[in-house]
Amino acid sequence: MTYRLRIEPSGHEMDIEANETILEAALRHGYALPYSCRSGTCATCKGKILAGSVDYGDVDEKMLPDEEMEAGFALFCQATPLTDLSIEAREVGAAAGIEIKTLPSRVARIVDLAPEVRALFLQLPSTQEFRFLPGQYIDILLKDGSRRGFSIANMPGPGAQLELHIKHVPGGQFTGHVFSTMKEKDILRFEGPLGTFFIRDDWPERPLLLAATGTGFAPIKGMLEQLFANPDTRDIHFYWGVRYAQEFYYQELLQEWQARHPNFHFHPVVSRPDASWNGRTGYITTAIGADFPQPKDLVAYLCGHPDMVFDLAESLEQSGLDSQYIFSDAFVFAK
């Protein structure tokens, strides 16, 4: 069974199959709606059903509370049509022309970054163009049909490599393999680029607030490379939170960026400091709240554990930053 889907305010119309999610249909037709996890765990794709009815799919109350569902909201990565539909969603123009591909890659390098964190550098086929925006992610496709999502930690460059930061999850099938038997020249298949977490061009005068926990630094690193590749004089504040100071990595690069770019301000924050740490302590949400009691003029990009991302987004909104200026990529570690 096929229905019609209309996106407002753009007025774009398309077919949608009965077993297809709203997000899948939009992407299939070349229209990017905001999304990240595609599994109902980040709420990035939440939007309003203006007309028609949907099967809401497998939805966690935390991501879509009953009162929001009653007010007409749905998670577009989960909702499938029961009738023709009209929805309200901000289309993401910058991602619209970028083709999502399935490609092979070769493991070019494996580098230890921190205890239990490794970088994988994947070489792309020279015969295939792969376009992406810094901050997007790819899904590694495993032989059993499952997939593992990882952000791309670099900007597109002439070497045609993708850098991923892999956190070892005990018992994890894929990350266990990365930390034991994976070797250079191994072949990995992936799908991408995915997600709509990337720097928007819309407000070049607004200072940037970038915030990450743990390996949430990966997409932020790609965004920073992009920002520093172009003349950009607005202030860029990057808060990086970890539990233990040993979990920071790329410290030399961050120091070099601070030295070279006076508009770049790096704020490392440790929640479980030992005696050797003499920097800031606690959680980044608290640190940002103290530094920016009135954040209404910023644009914020948040990446890391859902608890941090949702808390920080809520705190910024309550302090006066309109939600249109907050972009996030909430993730749990891929296993």
Is 214 strand, coil or helix? helix
- Least CB distance from residue 88 to ligand FES, whole Å? 16
Side-chain-side CA neighbours of residue 319 (13 Å): 22
Is 127 strand, coil or helix? coil
- Nearest-CB residue for ligand FES: 77
- Least CB distance from residue 195 to ligand FES, whole Å? 8
**Do 220 and 212 meet the contact criterion of CB atoms below 8 Å apart?**
yes
33 burial via Cβ count (<10 Å: 0-12, 13-18, 19+): buried
- Least CB distance from residue 91 to ligand FES, whole Å? 15
Is the CB of 45 or the CB of 85 nearer to ligand FES? Answer: 45
Is the CB of 21 or the CB of 105 nearer to ligand FES? Answer: 21
- Least CB distance from residue 173 to ligand FES, whole Å? 22
Is the CB of 74 or the CB of 298 nearer to ligand FES? Answer: 74
- Rounded to 5 degrees, φ, ψ at 44 are -60, -30
The DSSP element (H or E) to which 296 belongs, if any, is none
Is the CB of 77 or the CB of 269 nearer to ligand FES? Answer: 77
- Least CB distance from residue 295 to ligand FES, whole Å? 24
- DSSP type of residue 307: H
> How far does Cα 313 stand from its chain's mean position?
14
Is the CB of 63 or the CB of 113 nearer to ligand FES? Answer: 63
18 burial via Cβ count (<10 Å: 0-12, 13-18, 19+): exposed
- Least CB distance from residue 63 to ligand FES, whole Å? 6
Is the CB of 89 or the CB of 220 nearer to ligand FES? Answer: 89
Q: Please give the residue ranges that form the binding site for ligand FES (CB under 6 A).
A: 35-38, 40-45, 63, 75, 77
- Least CB distance from residue 237 to ligand FES, whole Å? 26
Is the CB of 45 or the CB of 120 nearer to ligand FES? Answer: 45
DSSP, residue by residue, 244-273: SGGG---HHHHHHHHHH-TTEEEEEEESS-
- DSSP type of residue 100: P
**Do 320 and 294 meet the contact criterion of CB atoms below 8 Å apart?**
yes
- Least CB distance from residue 77 to ligand FES, whole Å? 3
Is the CB of 257 or the CB of 310 nearer to ligand FES? Answer: 310
- Least CB distance from residue 94 to ligand FES, whole Å? 17
Is the CB of 75 or the CB of 224 nearer to ligand FES? Answer: 75
Residue 261 contacts by C-beta under 8 Å, 6 or more apart in sequence?
228, 236
> How far does Cα 190 stand from its chain's mean position?
17
Going by their DSSP bridges, the two strands 137-141 and 46-51 should be labelled as unpaired
